[in-house]
Amino acid sequence: MDATILGLLLLDALQNGVIYGLMAVGLVLVFAVTRVILVPIGELLMFAPLSLVWLHSGKLPGTLALALALGLLWALLARGRGGLWPLLGGLGLFLLFLLALKAPLLAYPASVLLVVYLGVATYRVFFQPMREATVLAYLIMAVGLHVAYQGLGLVFFGPEQYRPAPLLSGEVVVGLSWQGVLVLLFAGAAVLGLYLFFRLSLYGKALLAAAQNRLGARLSGIRPEEAGMVAFAIASLLAGISGLLLAPLINAAYFMGFMLGLKGFVAAILGGLVSYPVALLGALLVGLFESLTSFYASAYKEALVFLLLVPALFLQSLRARAVEE
Amino acid sequence: MRYLWFALLLLPLLLAPFPFYLTLLNFFALSALVALSLYVLTGLGGMTSFAQAAFMGMGAYATALLTVKGGFSPWLGLLLGLALSFLLALVLGGLTVRLKGHFLPLSTIAWQVALYILAGNLVGLTGGHTGLTDLPPLLLLGLPLDNTFRYAFLGLFLLVLSVLALQNLRESRLGRALLALRGDALAAASFGVDPAGLRLKAFLLAGVMAGLAGFLYAHFLRFVNPTPFSLEASIKYLVMAVAGGVGAIPGVLLGAALFTGLEDWLKDLLPLLLGRQGNYETIAYGLVLAAILILAPRGLWPLLARYLPQKEGRLPQEAPLPLKPPSGARGEVVLEAQGLRKAFGGLLAVSGVSFTLRRGEILALIGPNGAGKTTVFNLITGAILPDGGRVFLFGREITGLPPYRIHPLGLGRTFQHPHLFPELSVLENVALGTYARTRAGFPQVLLGLHRKEEGRALALAYQALKRVGLESLALEKAERLPAGQQRLLEIARVLASGAEVLLLDEPGAGLRAGEKRELAHLLRSLSREGYTILIVDHDMDLIMGLADRVVVMNYGEKIAEGTPMEVQRNPLVRAAYLGEVA
């Protein structure tokens, strides 16, 4: 390995690592607020670029039908006036998609909004009716949704791989495209934005409070459902934009999301599912480890990433109390 | 009754004219075996695994490699397969059982995916996605099991044996302890259950069961490739178990039967509907799972079981395990706390509390709300670690030991808010107390060799229930007891454990006046028999009439100690309770 290759590997590691990091931050946030381990985050990521490809080729994607169907269920479950919002949102989304068929630039926000709407609807339709369920039941639900959404992705978009046109073309230096720079900039902006949101805004603080102590938050007027919706919305937003920015660099296909999400998990577990900064650092480590293994043992790189879990779980085991109350 | 399960072996005879259904029957037996492994994990232990298909893969590839590449006997392949799945479970479980509950299932997803990738990529060893072909048929007493009819007998026979073994597990100290762990790890640990150790053993059992299913799978198809050992397959087994009802063995079998049929039907139907070939049945699995979790979280079986005749509970007839009365000189020190200190963040909950407990006495720990009494209990019993100070039990230091190591030394406790298992009967709740006094391990229990000990343990539990006057409710579910009787149930559980030093946290709360008198009478006679009692309560009439000595705490500190008369006259105590200027 010479310096050039090392540089390329490091750039690759950074570019992938920040995406894993955003996934990990979304996962930790959703887990903290709702106790849901959002396994289908990868599918939400995958839906964005594939919906975009469909819009750009002049077709309405099947994901729109899925989002509207879940929106309808959401409205039915919410009953009364609360049901108005999902219906209005769904209508707006539908109109936006019709417009985006004519105006290609609108397709970008349309795809991201679709994913956010879908994410929030997923929470309201599938997770919220299970309220007060165990973490285990939530996890089983999440895994079920992962296979269902991935299967639906196959139905909607077929097994082919697509490469949407990058937002910015060309390379800054060899190995770093402008699109890659965009990924890094977005990751930086997202982390900074989340930090400011949680530190400065009342709403962000309320969300953290709800994550710390649900009962206490409810007693001080923070509705847990609302906090859950916001957490899902933020995680979906991160996933949707990440998917759009990443797809021109790697191929977009129905199976792309799961491995990305899973590496986000590895990073989140490195942070014990509680720490945002450690999860972010963990994500960079995952990216680095993956880059190096892809150089030395490329066939196994997807499997070897999970080896990182061994020392992380071992260390956390040593610190764990024998009996949890 | 229990051997009625063997009637399943008649199925191949009934289905003999229909080769297609014989094949499905074989798949049912294999799937049910894997789904049963999830009964152990999820139904009993409150954990789950998304890697059961990977354990199957261990069993399948082990035998395939030995028989195809090495030409060895399949039975050697079985041994290697079981050993490999055991080892895999040991590594995965060993890394995660001590962590919070969600780490285990979450990491099983990762291992499952990694092993699947390895199976596809280690082409030299596993044949990659083409797999390994031409496995030899199993030979049983010289008879080759080379058709679906014969093979179904083997699969179903092993399935029935597993069902019987798991029924034994459910009706044993280990099954009870697993159920208890799922509900309330602290209560289970307070009666000698080592949470991490027991979880690991359940995980090992589940892994080996799936490995066995993998071995059967390999010699049934006589071909292995990675596809049936994917994450999707693992999820399929979980869907089976959860949809059928993972809390009951018949539910798991029901789920396996339903989905084995459904899978075949979906594989034909969905591509027709969608006009394309592909693995679309995963969509149905996911959505069925979601619907079940929302609409019937306990699965389909409880909905059916309501219409079936309920099995009558039975009171134990065996001779109870001997309860040896406490021995040793009255008045000798049995428990000593020295300078206990504990802070929660900035709040000093307990600060330098020392006292001794002498055999046969009733020592009351009183103080206003928030004085730190329950924290003292938790420090002594090992539920939380002290920041400073030491605790000795029978002269032996127990500071920092976990509750499940302290309890067997002779210390039992009740909880301020009863920690019971609402779905278990009153008798079984008490029987959890006998965990540390009984010995049957997994091998004995699975083979059913524990029944005598189990009967005697239940009899001891019944005897303890009689002592607190709840014997007429023995077969009721614990959730149906009012709060006061739940406290008595907790006392019975401590008595059944054979502990000599009893820590009772507000045993009188929620009792009526008459019940309180009976409680006082019971505690007095226990102390006469040599039991030593440390009691926390807010009822001053009860305490002052009962206690030999009283320790008074306020704001985490001990402010007085003495006979009831002495502390009642103590100005500091009066100030703490009444706000008088001392």
CB contact B239 to A (< 8 Å): yes
Contact A70, A123 (CB under 8 A): no
Max Cα-Cα span within chain B: 94
Chain A residue closest to B238 (CA)?
A: A140
Positive or negative, the CA dihedral B216, B220, B223, B229 is negative
Statement: residue A213 has pLDDT above 80:
no
Chain B residue closest to A299 (CA)?
A: B121
Pairing of strands B532-536, B501-505: parallel
* Spatial separation of the C-alpha atoms in residues B478 and B91, rounded to whole Å: 37
Determine the pLDDT at residue A322. 55
Determine the pLDDT at residue B74. 94
Q: Return all residues near A281 (Cβ < 8 A) that are at least 6 apart.
A: A270, A271
Of A37, A140, A314, the CB nearest to B238: A140
Instruction: State the DSSP code for B530.
Output: T
* Spatial separation of the C-alpha atoms in residues B391 and A75, rounded to whole Å: 59
CA angle B54, B55, B57 (to 5 degrees): 60
Taking residues B173-181, what's their average pLDDT?
95
Question: Which one, of B379, B388, B415, lies nearest residue B536 by Cα?
Answer: B415
Q: Measured between beta carbons, which residues in chain B are less than 8 angstroms from residue A307?
A: 114
Determine the pLDDT at residue A188. 92
Cβ of A322 within 8 Å of Cβ of B98? The answer is yes
Average pLDDT of the residues of chain A = 89
Statement: residue A324 has pLDDT above 60:
no
Determine the pLDDT at residue B582. 46
What pairs with residue B396 in β-bridges? B393
CB contact B145 to A (< 8 Å): no
CA atoms within a 13 Å half-sphere pointing along the CA-CB vector of B269 = 9
pLDDT band at B319 (very low <50, low <70, confident <90, very high): confident
Cβ of B99 within 8 Å of Cβ of A317? The answer is yes
The lowest-confidence range among A164-173, B302-311, B383-392 is A164-173
Chain A residue closest to B116 (CA)?
A: A303
Q: Would you give the distance in Å from CA B386 to the centre of its chain?
A: 27
Cβ of A155 within 8 Å of Cβ of B238? The answer is no
Which of A143, A290, A300 to substitute to test the interface with B, most B CBs within 10 Å?
Answer: A143
CB contact B101 to A (< 8 Å): yes
**Amino acid, single-letter form, for residue B347:** L
Helices and strands, number each (H, E), in chain A = 14, 2
Q: Measured between beta carbons, which residues in chain A are less than 8 angstroms from residue B109?
A: 39, 143, 262, 265
Of A150, A306, A325, the CB nearest to B110: A306
Determine the pLDDT at residue B281. 84
Cβ of A325 within 8 Å of Cβ of B185? The answer is yes
Cβ of B283 within 8 Å of Cβ of A152? The answer is yes
* Spatial separation of the C-alpha atoms in residues B302 and A57, rounded to whole Å: 50
CB contact B99 to A (< 8 Å): yes
Q: Return all residues near B261 (Cβ < 8 A) that are at least 6 apart.
A: B24
Which alpha helices (DSSP H) does B122-248 contain, by range?
123-126, 148-170, 173-183, 185-189, 195-221, 231-244
**CA torsion, ordered A72, A73, A79, A80, to nearest 10 deg:** -10
Of B121, B294, B403, the CB nearest to A129: B294
CA angle B344, B348, B353 (to 5 degrees): 120
Chains A & B: contacts with CB separation below 8 Å: 159
* Spatial separation of the C-alpha atoms in residues B222 and B224, rounded to whole Å: 7
ipTM of the complex, rounded to two decimals: 0.90
Question: What domains can be seen in chain B, in order of their start residue?
Answer: 2-229 (no CATH), 332-410+500-582 (3.40.50.300), 418-498 (no CATH)
Cβ of B109 within 8 Å of Cβ of A143? The answer is yes
Statement: residue B359 has pLDDT above 90:
yes
Cβ of A139 within 8 Å of Cβ of B383? The answer is no
pLDDT band at A321 (very low <50, low <70, confident <90, very high): low
Q: Measured between beta carbons, which residues in chain A are less than 8 angstroms from residue B106?
A: 37, 139, 265, 269
Contact A320, B99 (CB under 8 A): yes
Statement: residue A325 has pLDDT above 60:
no
Q: Measured between beta carbons, which residues in chain B are less than 8 angstroms from residue A303?
A: 113-115, 117-118, 121
- Tell me the residue ranges of DSSP E strands in chain A: 171-173, 176-177
In Å, how far is A143's CA from the nearest CA of chain B? 8
Cβ of B42 within 8 Å of Cβ of A321? The answer is no
pLDDT digits (tens, 9 = 90+) for A88-140: 999 999 999 999 999 989 999 999 999 999 999 999 999 999 877 888 899 99
Cβ of B385 within 8 Å of Cβ of A321? The answer is yes
Q: Measured between beta carbons, which residues in chain B are less than 8 angstroms from residue A323?
A: 185-186, 189, 195, 382-383, 402-404
Q: Would you give the distance in Å from CA A153 to the centre of its chain?
A: 16
